[in-house]
Structure 1
């Protein structure tokens, strides 16, 4: 394997571009890497120089950004695999888990120090993190320590589940040669053998799997093969397959591979793979009704989903009780979690960061659900779980919005233009915002009475009507061409109207939550911890927060908004008045490698006003 001379940030740059599937602009990339655009350009030049001989280059598109061009994706895979590429804490932990799982006697910490070129302190901290992930949480695989030796319990099924997850986390879905964590056993030849036989048999038995299911099953069989070669065999399977067609398909598949590999496969291996396939079939792109999903999952799943649905309604004022699709999807997902089958796609993280900025309130909800599922399912869940839940919530909220607004937001078109241009304008609006607006009109400028009779939520006009007509309803003046500026204005008003459908109206005007003495100007460079400390001191100093209210800002949920505002909140007691503090920073503040934070908004919310959280998020986005 080649040793590519790239440092951690340059490798992350390649990772981000690979995940982007297109052009990423320089500002976006520099923000995610936590560097200036000048440093980004220097990194790109260094990467191109180092990787030119291997056919991997970062190409620039003037005025748009950068994209990744490569002749062979194997080069990219090698950049993120192998011992020489242990660059970050996650790299080290992954490497250590692989070593511990694959060693029956355990590992000598002194050898690991030399092998990984890290200090004993760093190694001990990594061991603590591994203990937290796999011992104190599912799969609850005990870790043993004797002097310098560390080992894991010889629970074969738990070890296999850990290996499958590690391989899945590092699969490249953009290539046929998808595996990144290669070793001497699980290599491309073995994977191709499994894939070829498996696709034929699944087709024969009319069993369908999505991409994740196919990859998961391939890797499960590959892990089974590698463990059997090392003479680590199953005594029994932890689950029993009840679907006859699945059992028959696995029997035929493993019989073929047994002959191909010249390796005797024991009966527990058949049962283990069959149980996995049965669960993967359940997780496939099937649309189940609420009743079908309930019949295919454990009763405990229904109880948990009912509980979480109630908590979302009480805590976030989100009533998804009539959404059978969400209910069924959550049932299937909880069942998968309880069986330790979690869909992990590292490359989706880039997309999910953008979705969270577009839907910060639902990002908060998905974070809460993730923490609750950890508690209820005895699991250690990470960012991937939040990323899985967020699109489900966005879809459910979209359906809820459709039900609430009916045909769309009632919008009146007022035009001084001739009929031809006016109907062209209306047709453009209808096509661009189909389902979001219900158009009424057109009306001439002078027809105030008929406009009022419609009771519109929005007026779109071709003239500056506010000069001679006053309306309580928002009025937007546009060109018949609907340029980008017009689109932005219309979209902002539509989003505001939609938020009024979705979230309860605030008990007070927005101005009531802000005080002049809580609007701070930070003129010097300061990190986030320092800015938050200044804000807390100001809140307490001005007696807006009592000593009884604990501002534990380390445990808050932080949301970065599209307007470069970082929003966070603390829930106070019933006596606490809901108040907002805003820090406007002259110099950008860095938070988790985000460099473009210009404002920080901290809210202390009365516990009885938590139900208005969606509206408070909207208020922060309007800053």
Structure 2
């Protein structure tokens, strides 16, 4: 079998569309006219419009892309197929007839987009009629529709699609349809990185001229080149599709129900759209243009790097965030300018999306919350700042995107061990040892000073360090860990220092923070079927009894408020619940172990770690987040902990996990 035909069959199996009967007739007519044929001649033969033929040919080329051939066009000869591709296209038609001669959409996702497109134009359709149109069973359409209703409800808060008495009904306002489709366009194009996206095509296939979409892309690309505007191909495709869809709705007689104001005028974008609408003769209303421009702005459209950070609001928000980060975690985000500046740029567009009620979804959300939970928690500092200013909460997805700037900063903070290097022998040996340490452990050790032996006691009083390295034996006891390298360093010294850093510094700090946070008097076992609120209330009372917080009722309310906005379930029924703002007297964690069936927001409740955090949090708390995530990642560990019968047994087991980590 020809390789291109194998690719075509593979494409069908993955859900690629097949040709309709009319599209097959178009191909056959072009094959018969080896010197070319114009669209109006094909249209006359098939008794359809020229626009319909151009749309069909765009769809045909989408299907044929895996067969390494296509229908080409020329102003002089019209549409034609290269002679060497004629036999291949005939084979494609035969293969397609054998596979599925009638079906319009060949995957569930394609059918969903097709159904959505149909309902956007007719608003109601009988389930059986749609099944006949798609050449599938009513049960298949029912599953597709109910799946789409749930998906649109859950992800986009779009509630206008329903099924009533066998009728599929779509009754939204026009502004809701457009904003939904704008979001679908963005996500589909960013997923496939293709202009002619299969699923978007299914949604508009009956009403669109795909050549107009190509014209829009060409216009945007040319305009950007001539005006020194740098846009990625993805962004060009997304903008083109948004304009294309807006034009289709306007031409179809669908109008916005209310006036739309321009959120944040962008001169370059306004000039581009004005020029495009004028030259391509698109007749859109002022509100059409404003809604379109507002959504394009949320993509991060700008002409160059200068002026991306506009206005004082973002600067003020970032300034408050960095001050909070410094005050609570003793970390200065501005110390890594590249991360800090990129965080500001991302935040600007995050806020624009928030005010437009359009927030991105992050497919890596769960991974970010589990793997980088401490960085995620630090990023949460920005939530109350934004809420106080705008009265709105960022979504978890948007917070997780911002976390990706905090995470590498946090990693840099935790990577280096502050060290004093003591020289007691020759200066040349001391210099050589310094060079070796920088080469082998430059990313792990920060040598704060290099001193002679007699100054060690003085320096230990004036510098807070984690480690002392000496090139001679030190007889007297010192207050910090010590490692001696008295000969030319090699593999043995490297391994010894590595082991010393891990076991003496990292393990000691993790065990110390564990004993500060956990104690045997802060473990509660729950039988019966407790609600999540009851677990939080009892754990809050225990934290107050242990002196961690002052007001158990206020703490429980604040913890439940956070849970309603940002659920704290990690995995396997493990939660790490705590208020959005930290006001504890001292750090502490109460562990609630549930021995019976209980649920919270569709998640089983097995172990609830309820955390009380001081306003100022030391960075070693990352070990506690690592511990809780380690437990949550393993259903086996959760089962072991839930099967324990005493508080001491559970705390001892958690401490062993800390030592392993």
Q: Which of the five TM-score ranges fits, normalised by the shorter chain?
A: 0.5 to 0.7
Deviations 1:127-173 (CA, angstroms, capped at 9, x unpaired): 8657x8146xxxxxx789987664333334x4222111112223345
The answer as to 2:617 corresponding to 1:612 is yes
In the TM superposition, what are the counterparts of 1:61-460 in structure 2 within 5 Å? Answer: 84-85=107-108, 98=116, 102-106=120-124, 114-118=139-143, 129=154, 133-134=157-158, 150-156=169-175, 158-172=176-190, 175-176=193-194, 179=197, 181-184=199-202, 185=204, 192-209=214-231, 213-228=235-250, 230-232=252-254, 238-239=261-262, 242-258=265-281, 264-266=282-284, 268=286, 273=292, 286=305, 288=307, 293-294=310-311, 325=341, 330-340=347-357, 342=359, 346=363, 349=364, 355-357=368-370, 359-367=372-380, 369=382, 382-394=395-407, 410-413=418-421, 426-427=434-435, 429-430=437-438, 437-439=445-447, 448-455=453-460, 457-459=465-467
2: CA distance, partners of 1:449 / 1:372: 50
Q: Which residue of 2 aligns with 1:44?
A: none
Deviations 1:322-349 (CA, angstroms, capped at 9, x unpaired): 9984566534531343235545564xx2
Cα RMSD for the two superposed structures: 6.4
Gaps of 5+ in 2: 1-10, 16-65, 68-103, 132-137, 595-599, 628-657
1: CA distance, partners of 2:359 / 2:351: 10
Instruction: Rate the CA distance shift 1:320–1:413 in 2: closer, same or farther, 3 A.
Output: closer
The answer as to 2:520 corresponding to 1:516 is yes
2: CA distance, partners of 1:488 / 1:386: 36
Greater shift, 450-459 or 158-167, is seen at 450-459
Instruction: Rate the CA distance shift 1:573–1:275 in 2: closer, same or farther, 3 A.
Output: closer
Instruction: Rate the CA distance shift 1:419–1:234 in 2: closer, same or farther, 3 A.
Output: same
Greater Cα radius of gyration, structure 1 or 2: 2
User: What secondary structure does 2:217 align onto?
Assistant: helix
Q: Which residue of 2 aligns with 1:474?
A: 481
2: CA distance, partners of 1:266 / 1:573: 50
Instruction: Rate the CA distance shift 1:234–1:491 in 2: closer, same or farther, 3 A.
Output: farther
1: CA distance, partners of 2:552 / 2:428: 66
In the TM superposition, what are the counterparts of 1:17-28 in structure 2 within 5 Å? Answer: none
Q: 1:576: how far off?
A: 8.7
Q: Which residue of 2 aligns with 1:580?
A: 589
Q: 1:204: how far off?
A: 0.7
Q: Retained in 2: the 8 A contact 1:413–1:442?
A: yes
User: What secondary structure does 1:602 align onto?
Assistant: strand
Q: Which residue of 2 aligns with 1:602?
A: 609
2: CA distance, partners of 1:575 / 1:442: 40
2: CA distance, partners of 1:97 / 1:367: 39
2: CA distance, partners of 1:278 / 1:537: 47
Q: Retained in 2: the 8 A contact 1:210–1:285?
A: no
1: CA distance, partners of 2:592 / 2:440: 37
- TM-score, with length taken from structure 2: 0.53
2: CA distance, partners of 1:190 / 1:163: 18
Greater shift, 331-340 or 434-443, is seen at 434-443
Deviations 1:196-233 (CA, angstroms, capped at 9, x unpaired): 33112111122233566434323312322443454435
2: CA distance, partners of 1:331 / 1:440: 37
In the TM superposition, what are the counterparts of 1:501-512 in structure 2 within 5 Å? Answer: 510-512=514-516
Q: 1:320: how far off?
A: 6.8
Q: Retained in 2: the 8 A contact 1:207–1:281?
A: no
Q: Which has the higher helix share?
A: 2
Q: Retained in 2: the 8 A contact 1:133–1:380?
A: no
2: CA distance, partners of 1:244 / 1:330: 21
Q: Retained in 2: the 8 A contact 1:82–1:181?
A: no
Instruction: Rate the CA distance shift 1:288–1:426 in 2: closer, same or farther, 3 A.
Output: farther
Which residue among 536, 558, 568 is the counterpart of 2:576?
568
2: CA distance, partners of 1:273 / 1:305: 28
Gaps of 5+ in 1: 6-53, 56-80, 136-141, 259-263, 501-505, 586-590
User: What secondary structure does 1:266 align onto?
Assistant: coil
Q: Which residue of 1 aligns with 2:631?
A: none
Instruction: Rate the CA distance shift 1:218–1:547 in 2: closer, same or farther, 3 A.
Output: same
Q: Retained in 2: the 8 A contact 1:458–1:473?
A: yes
In the TM superposition, what are the counterparts of 1:2-81 in structure 2 within 5 Å? Answer: 2-4=12-14
User: What secondary structure does 2:12 align onto?
Assistant: coil
